[in-house]
Chains A and B, each alone.
Chain A
Amino acid sequence: NAGVMQNPRHLVRRRGQEARLRCSPMKGHSHVYWYRQLPEEGLKFMVYLQKENIIDESGMPKERFSAEFPKEGPSILRIQQVVRGDSAAYFCASSQRTDTDTQYFGPGTRLTVL
């Protein structure tokens, strides 16, 4: 049973370009969470999605950031017009449920904005 998969593992973008990060949850998991981690800092919650629904996007900037989890395929975190401050590690986690259920993390995508 494969774990949570993320790709790409490393992504380099120039300012103003778009970054698209993908996350495939563990088999049987229908809940996906995205976190951002700046160097030497903790995990900052961004957004929680279930299939075809955004449940909580309170941690995601209102502009330039969007997320989706379509009926088929991986969850996508999209950052438009990237700026240097977007450089970070972006982790995706998945769980079977939200209620007392374990979240398992993917290996992360390290985004570098030049």
Chain B
Amino acid sequence: GENVEQHPSTLSVQEGDSAVIKCTYSDSASNYFPWYKQELGKRPQLIIDIRSNVGEKKDQRIAVTLNKTAKHFSLHITETQPEDSAVYFCAAIMFSGGYNKLIFGAGTRLAVHP
């Protein structure tokens, strides 16, 4: 069935270091991959997304890469800051139950230490 695997489940970095979160998906027809950031007690917020017609997308300190052949995509955060500490969820669109459904990974808890 449809599945999105996300690794690692927790990630601890020093301020200024880079952080990388990886996700794999099962449906080769998937063509949309958003990333959400959820701070404690808040709603998940879209931070970046990528569609299957590009291999990389950047927005300031965050970037997402997509490898359709290997069916994996990654979130890269450079020059991490304490305010980057949050839970990050990847997701992929998959055709399931007769419609295109957004399937979420289990989340990565990122802690950035000053």
Contact = CB atoms under 8 A, between A and B. Distances in A.
Interface of chain B, main secondary structure = strand
B100 A98 contact: yes
B63 interface: no
Interface of chain A, main secondary structure = loop
Size bracket of the B interface: 20 to 34
B44 A105 contact: yes
A20 B50 CA distance: 35
Contacts, number: 53
Interface in B18-40: 31-32, 34, 36
Interface of B: 31-32, 34, 36, 42-46, 49, 51, 89, 93, 97-107
A43 B34 CA distance: 14
Interface of A: 33, 41-43, 45, 48, 55-56, 58, 91, 98-108
